A = this chain, B = another copy of it.
Amino acid sequence: MPKIIENLEEEIAKTSLKLFKENPYQNVSMRKIASEVGIAVGTLYNYYPNKWKLYIGVFEESWKETYQILKMNCKKNEADYLKNYIEVLYSEMKKKKSIVRELYRYIMNDLEMDEAEQKEKFKRIRFPRVVINQIYELFIMILEKEFEIKLEKDNQDLYRLFAVLQTNIPLLHQNFEEEEQNIDFLYDLLNSYFEKKILK
């Protein structure tokens, strides 16, 4: 006697996000997700064709959320744009340890796949590039505000700076306890580079 569950898709997303945040991909089984949601394993497959797609979907959703928060924060700020942007991103990222780690792997172009077929699959879904792009655009916007300058979005070194920021937040958070100093360090790193290499 199948029960009809309201907002089941959302429920699955929420629960598996929670699990994937706390555990690496391999350690989260479909059984575990299903039992946590309170449904049958088979039901998961009505919403996602396989484990990997479920993972990706959940991941993307999570980044959308982060984007929304960043955007809101950007709007209401009047000064210290860069510092603030780093702070918010930092606080968002520390909420999703495992997902962020996965981001790194994504950046590294290695997602536990070696099969060419899977790589292909992966390319097709193009992960949350879209969202990451939006977050990048926000990054450019706040830099323009902060330094009162017009920037070229396609500048490779700005891309690099953004990648560095993303990757080093979880890195520092994991390894150095003093949160405030981590943020200061990141701010100084970006700021000094920007001043020396971009502004002049």
CB <8 Å contact, A172 and B181:
no
Whether the pair B108, A174 counts as a contact (CB closer than 8 A) is yes
Q: Distance in Å from the Cβ of A126 to the closest Cβ of chain B?
A: 15
Residue of B nearest to A104 (CB): B104
Contact pick for A185, options B160, B167, B172, CB 8 Å? B160
Binds B, one of A5-13, A50-58, A109-117: A109-117
Q: Is A193 an interface residue (CB 8 A)?
A: yes
Q: CA of A87 to CA of B174 in the docked complex: distance in angstroms?
A: 26
Chain A, interface size category, equals 35 or more
- Bound-complex Cα distance A189 to B158 (A): 12
CB distance from A92 to the nearest CB of B (A): 17
- The smallest beta-carbon distance between A127 and chain B, in angstroms, is 13
Chain B proximity of A152: nearest CB distance (Å): 15
Verify B164–A164 contact, CB threshold 8 A: yes
Could you tell me if B168 and A156 are in contact, using CB atoms closer than 8 angstroms?
no
**Distance of A97 Cα from B157 Cα, bound (Å):** 22
Q: How far is the CB of A75 from chain B (nearest CB, A)?
A: 29
Is A124 engaged at the interface, CB distance under 8 Å to the other chain?
A: no
Looking at the complex, which one of B97, B107, B163 makes contact with A110 (CB distance below 8 Å)? B97
Whether A176 contacts B159 by the Cβ 8 Å rule is: yes
Q: Given A107-B174, A168-B168, does the pair A197, B193 have CB atoms closer than 8 Å? A: no
Is the Cβ of A171 less than 8 Å from the Cβ of B26? no
Is B176 a contact partner of A171 (Cβ separation < 8 A)?
Answer: no
> Which listed residue, B24, B159, B167, B188, touches A168 by the CB 8 Å rule?
B167
Closest to A182 in B: B160
Of the candidates B27, B156, B168, B175, the one whose C-beta lies within 8 Å of that of A112 is B27
- Per CB-CB distance, the 9 closest pairs between chain A and chain B, nearest first, are A192-B196, A192-B192, A192-B193, A108-B174, A189-B193, A160-B185, A167-B171, A24-B112, A23-B114
**What are 9 A-to-B residue pairs whose CB atoms are below 8 Å?**
A98-B110, A101-B110, A104-B104, A107-B174, A108-B171, A157-B185, A160-B172, A164-B168, A188-B196
